[in-house]
């Protein structure tokens, strides 16, 4: 299937990464049990990653055959700064979630992201973030009883204190 679309910036590099990733996964799948038998534990992963590597190679070959598109730029059309900042903030969120906990990490993440993307003041962004985090916390932690990483905020003690206020007034 021949396409007359030009090659986009970063397309060859991405396809090379897909070929390399597929070959790495094929090697990892081979490490499960090798070529012992058709019913061996690594057979399906090896077959799957072999097909994936073949397909990635075919896509790379097709990508290399296309003419380059000189009108597009990676920084403007493919990976603008807002996407890079969002990826960096999500990565930071993932690393800070366990040590800081859900509440402070989510509050910081939303505050910075809203301020950056919406270009508003930190005070407005913090107020919106606080409302969103409180709403999420109430729905998921209090109503649905979903456990979230506690971190530096002693949520258990706060919930016990709030419950003790209502229990003592009822009696």
* Contacts of residue 123, Cβ cutoff 8 Å, sequence gap at least 6: none
Nearest to 61 by CA among 12, 104, 22: 12
Instruction: State residue 116 phi and psi, 5-degree precision.
Output: -70, -50
Tokens linked to 164: 């003790």
DSSP label at 67? P
What is the pLDDT, as a whole number, of residue 168? 63
What is the pLDDT, as a whole number, of residue 3? 59
Mean pLDDT by 10 residues, the chain (171 residues): 77 96 97 87 94 98 91 85 96 97 97 97 97 93 87 86 72 53
What is the pLDDT, as a whole number, of residue 2? 52
């Amino acid at each position: 299937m021949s396409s007359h679309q030009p090659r986009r910036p970063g397309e060859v590099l991405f396809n090379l990464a897909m070929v390399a990733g597929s070959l790495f996964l094929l090697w990892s799948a081979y490490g499960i049990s090798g070529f012992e038998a058709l019913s061996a534990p690594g057979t399906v992963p090896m077959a799957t990653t072999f097909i994936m590597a073949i397909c990635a190679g075919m896509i790379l070959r097709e990508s290399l055959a296309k003419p380059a598109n000189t009108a597009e730029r990676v920084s403007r059309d493919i990976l603008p700064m807002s996407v890079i900042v969002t990826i960096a903030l999500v990565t930071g969120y993932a690393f800070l979630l366990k040590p800081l906990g859900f509440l402070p990490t989510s509050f910081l993440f939303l505050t910075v992201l809203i301020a950056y993307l919406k270009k508003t003041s930190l005070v407005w962004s913090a107020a919106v973030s606080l409302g969103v985090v409180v709403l999420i916390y109430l729905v998921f932690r209090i109503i649905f009883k979903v456990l979230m990483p506690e971190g530096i905020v002693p949520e258990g003690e706060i919930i016990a204190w709030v419950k003790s206020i209502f229990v003592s007034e009822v009696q």
